[in-house]
Structure 1
Amino acid sequence: MTFISDNKSLREFCEKVSTSSDYITVDTEFIRERTYWSELCLIQIGGKECAAAIDTMAPGIDLAPVFNLMLNNSVTKVFHAARQDFEIFSQLMGKLPTPVFDTQISAMVCGYGDSIGYDALVKSLTKERIDKSMRYTDWRRRPLSKKQLEYALSDVTHLRVVYEKLRKTLAENGRADWVAEEMETLTNNATYYPDPMEAWRRLKIRSTKPRFLLILREVAAWREIEAQRRNVPRNRVVRDEGLLEIAAQAPKDEIALRALRGMRNEKLRGKPLKALLKAIRQGQELPENYCPIVPHRPNKVSNMEGARELIRVLLKYCSEKNGVAQKLISTSEEIEMVISNPDSKPRPLTGWRGELFGQFAVSVLQGELALTASGSDIKLVKPGEEI
């Protein structure tokens, strides 16, 4: 078990793993409860025959060898559920690791269900059980115990076997290209730098009036930028309820703003307060044709409900028949697009998803194919032929 907290050891370790294997396994430990950006505490890296936990909080530690390794095109970086790890690396490096392999996505392609957890996947593929007792460790504290380090390193040592087995399965079932396609989406750096002007979409909107939406968009963008600047959670700046009340009431000055029930306990002052008032004015002054578009939320009792249910059954059929997780093939929102606007080429109608599911969905909606059921046995048929 190796714990690295000095630059010489880190350089030697990174050099060793970069030249001894065509892949490494990677995981991170971080804390985010009190910050906007994740606070990186540990990076675990595993080669074929060695593994180390790197103390990212060690005084004077230079992570350049790790960053160089992450960008080494001759070494595949293997993660499980990489999105949060990628957000950290994107923030630190300004780039994302490449090339990469996500075992959670790969497992979804290989029939292990929707978003399978690391523990369950390890148990399924290696028959090993991971001790979960260290799961809620405060990774900022030093020194870390032997048991804590063993737990952290298990996230990359078991991952080696998981990767080897999934890679073999993908080679056998011819779906490696599917995973590669998913990795292109996962490694789009823009994913990890969301547009503040889109932050309003996180909120539970209670009105679709243009003026409400214009103000809400502006004040939500202000909060996003302020949370990033101060590196605190969004609700530490202003709570969601406060933003929604501001958008509804459109206060014209500080007195009116502080009189709002959702703002009475907020301690805004100085430049942040002035910036919020400016955002409110911008929302009030913008022409209504600048109003953001609210995603259509269809009425569940609409005449499209029959089509929805039919396509959901088809999705389940295609998922089970091909051993691919439903969630990876299509989301509920994408099903709506397939039904209401197929010409926009939603994701389920393109690439491997189109071959697996999308082409049949279009044919079913056009009446060229039908689903039949006999007990629990579902079949896709067309005149004179069973698919």
Structure 2
Amino acid sequence: MNRLFAHWFAGVLMLGCLAVPGRAQDQMQVEDFDSIQLYTLENKSGAKVQITNFGAIVTSIVVPDRDGKLGDVALGYDSVESYINAVDKPYFGAVVGRYGNRIAEGEFTLDGETYSLATNNGPNHLHGGVIGFDKVVWDAVPTAVNGKPALKMTYHAKDGEEGYPGNLSVAVTYQWTDENELIVHYEATTDKATPINLTQHTYFNLAGEGNGTILDHELILNASKFTPVDSTLIPTGELREVEGTPFDFRKAKTIGRDIGVDNEQLEFGLGYDHNFVLDRSGEPGEMMWAARVLEPVTGRVMEIRTTEPGIQFYCGNFLDGRLEGKSGKSYVHRGGFCLETQHFPDSPNQPTFPSAILKPGEKYDTTTVFRFSTK
């Protein structure tokens, strides 16, 4: 599969497990590239998710409010060109990898060999590099999981791609249920030991994309510790208690309540942009409850369950109104938040963190569920 960019979306509507043509956009022809498709997973209530095989991006999530009115709660665009040309590369809706989040100074040592990666975020490596998984064309196949419609995307990352070792075969399966659950299942195998940390980078605004800030959203995180960072947002290695800090979301509070307090960690992140250590009661790799967000005006609620040990909470600190989304509205400062389930940032350089190394003969297998409801 060619790693560069293709056409604008050529619409595909998926009903059950059948893909039928939908509305096509004007196309931007580029030599030697495959077409990019847009898929729709719709349940019996009319709630739906749209996904493109460019970057495995979730382009929209349409769910009801407490009055039953449907609205799109995912920030994004209606053309591939907009994803490619967006200033500051926000990674709207994408699967990021081979290693999501940051690796210090773009370097790590594995099995006695030092690997150098692109430094595309200040002095550090971020979200897989210059052409990470968010900027490649995935193969997509409509399928079924437990008899329910799903979309499976696959990509083969070559040994040495963006500096990483090993030929890595990746699959991401999206399923949308009648209970308004978006289930994201990641799988991967490799022929050489390699770091891997895949995550979903959707920005949410439960009031509706483009409808102001997310500062009044009420957040709960199932985390009594977080990983503090240095001024370049690389973890120091400490697991710090949230108690008595602005990072305590164990009980519901608005995102904006403490975001402006005098705190070095908030200064480093320009707000919240930190990994939280999930309080796991079961065995590593078991599904657990991680987060809950309520938007009080619409009554929309999102809950997250995951098999991952951490979750990155980012509150749109770098949005500044320059990006215009699907509805024609500008995405203002803190106009969306991300909750990225993950292994911890810089784990290849942090021996006390849970290992993010995949070895030959092993299988990377992780799942995250986003469930939407109302209150």
Normalising to structure 1: TM-score of the pair?
Answer: 0.24
More strand by share: 2
Q: Which has the higher contact order (CA 8 A, sep 6+)?
A: 2
Of Structure 1 and Structure 2, the greater helix share is in 1
Bigger CA radius of gyration: 1
Length-normalised TM-score, structure 2: 0.25
